[in-house]
Structure 1
Amino acid sequence: MTGKSQIFFACILLLLATSCQEAKKPTIALVENKVVDFDNEKKAILETLNSETKAAFDRDYEAWKEKWVHDKNITKTYIDFADSTFSESVGWDEISRFVKTFIEEHPEPEPVPKLLEKINVRLYGNGAWVTYEQQDSLRGLKRETRLMEKVNGEWKIAGMQTTIYGFNSPE
């Protein structure tokens, strides 16, 4: 065996050893394939979203917080084109503090928007990606994206992005 062949063979062995070692460390979690009733899951997600919206507009912090995942990696983002503002909160503690402060500073309930009837849902095991539009009587048209997680059999919000367009329709 020549020197080049020995180096090539050693590199192949090193590559195999490294790839075998990496294979022992899973980087993704596999979710069992289960048959789910899509309509029931969508209905449950819709109930969570409507309950969370109602609680927020009614200024009911305790009911509102029950609809959220309490985790350091969740996010809540508002982009308001109507008044050129933006806010982002990361992690349950920051989101909770933001909402609690908002409720303390604005304790009067607001008119609850027409509750959702139509949402777009993509299910991914115990997660879902949800999009919809909603007309808010005080802010106008809102487009929302919600990341949902099923926790102990209940759908909860793990991420939220709200884009507010105001009363002028987006181009």
Structure 2
Amino acid sequence: MKDLEEDRAAILAVVDAETEAYLQRDYDAWEKCWHDGPEIRRIHSHVGTGVTVVAGPEIRTQMHRLLSENIEWQVPEAIRRENMNIVVSAEMAWVSYDQIGDMSSIPKEMAGHYHELKILHKIDGSWKIACIVGTQMRIDHVRAPLVEVDETARLLWMNEAAQDRLPNHPMLGLRANRLHAAEPDAQGELLSAVDWIAKVRDRHTPCVGEDAVTRAIALGQDDTGLAHICWAILRDGRLLITFDDTDRLERQLASAAAVYGLSQAQEKLARHLVEGRDLGAAAAALGISPNTAKTHLQRIYDKTGVRAQPALVRLLLNADRRGI
């Protein structure tokens, strides 16, 4: 038991020392924490840059460049760890934890929040890092409201944007701690989408990208005539509902325009129609005549094969929908 406690303390000391060397940009101190061999790895999944894998000697080359050269980069002012887990055997150990970096000089939604796994070897009596895997959770970097639910739409978690917006949302809210759409048809679509995504998640099909596991739900129009939309999505293995997401709506309409061959002017008109404006209001917002707007709409109908605005909205919101 004493040896195990000593090993745990030594392992944590190495983890702390490597982090401190990183923060202080001290390459020599960082290098002392790492094993040297062709089998070592640094694997990171980052929201902005995707997955990177660095192996063997290239790790030291990369870190020397980052820590020793005059390169502008942003280092967290402080780091804390949560949910620490340590497993130790005679010559190998692994440590996993959530690591949160305090980077107050950048927006809060881009804070450095990772889950890290470090694998260490005991070499000549000393623990050395042989592999690090860091994953940055995408949902921690979303500005739009996000609500996590279970397969019955029961609330599990909300980000700050959802906490601020959901109590005042005209078409979406909570009822008995479950997410609920005000319009009956929208409620049926919401529950159907949640159930479908839950089943996809349970099947765990890695050949299916998360972007395909998305369903758009038209929530209807509020008292001012503004249309509202939410999306049921799968991200980081979590079933989420997002709304008031203008960036997602822009991407979805751009995808629909590409699918149906809409011109830029037709796409702009479609955006206003999806937001609940009638043809006259859309024309005024675009600064075009009602006749021009009517011509654009007729051409949109010809390209999409529908003849009514509600049907058009449903079609555009699901233009990139794929069966799984």
> What TM-score does the superposition give when structure 1 sets the normalisation length?
0.69
Structure-2 residue corresponding to 1:98: 62
CA 1:51/1:116 → structure 2, altered by over 3 Å: closer, same or farther? Answer: farther
Alignment partner of 2:22: what SS?
Answer: helix
Residue type matched to 2:64 in 1?
Answer: K
Structure-2 residue corresponding to 1:78: 44
Q: Deviations over 1:89-147 (max 9, x none)?
A: 111x1100111122225367733533547631112211112111110123421101111
Structure-2 residue corresponding to 1:148: 120
CA 1:148/1:94 → structure 2, altered by over 3 Å: closer, same or farther? Answer: same
Structure-2 residue corresponding to 1:131: 96
Are 1:110 and 2:75 counterparts? yes
Larger Rg: 2
Are 1:120 and 2:85 counterparts? yes
Residue type matched to 2:59 in 1?
Answer: I
CA distance in 2, matches of 1:43, 1:115: 17
CA 1:59/1:108 → structure 2, altered by over 3 Å: closer, same or farther? Answer: farther
Structure-1 residue corresponding to 2:19: 53
Q: Percent identity at matched positions?
A: 26
Are 1:39 and 2:11 counterparts? no
Residue type matched to 1:106 in 2?
Answer: I
CA distance in 1, matches of 2:74, 2:49: 24
Residue type matched to 2:89 in 1?
Answer: Y
Q: Cα offset for 1:152?
A: 2.1
Give 5+ residue unaligned stretches, structure 1: 1-34
Which of these residues, 39, 56, 62, is aligned with residue 28 of structure 2? Answer: 62
CA distance in 1, matches of 2:90, 2:66: 34
CA distance in 2, matches of 1:47, 1:99: 20
Which of these residues, 96, 108, 133, is aligned with residue 161 of structure 1? Answer: 133
Q: Deviations over 1:145-166 (max 9, x none)?
A: 1110112222110011011226
Please tell me whether the aligned partners of residues 14 and 128 of structure 2 are also in contact (alpha carbons under 8 angstroms). yes
CA distance in 1, matches of 2:77, 2:16: 10
Please tell me whether the aligned partners of residues 43 and 51 of structure 2 are also in contact (alpha carbons under 8 angstroms). yes
Please tell me whether the aligned partners of residues 78 and 87 of structure 1 are also in contact (alpha carbons under 8 angstroms). yes
> What TM-score does the superposition give when structure 2 sets the normalisation length?
0.38
Give 5+ residue unaligned stretches, structure 2: 104-110, 142-158, 160-235, 239-324
Paired residue total: 135
Residue type matched to 1:63 in 2?
Answer: A
Residue type matched to 1:98 in 2?
Answer: Q
CA RMSD of aligned residues (A): 2.4
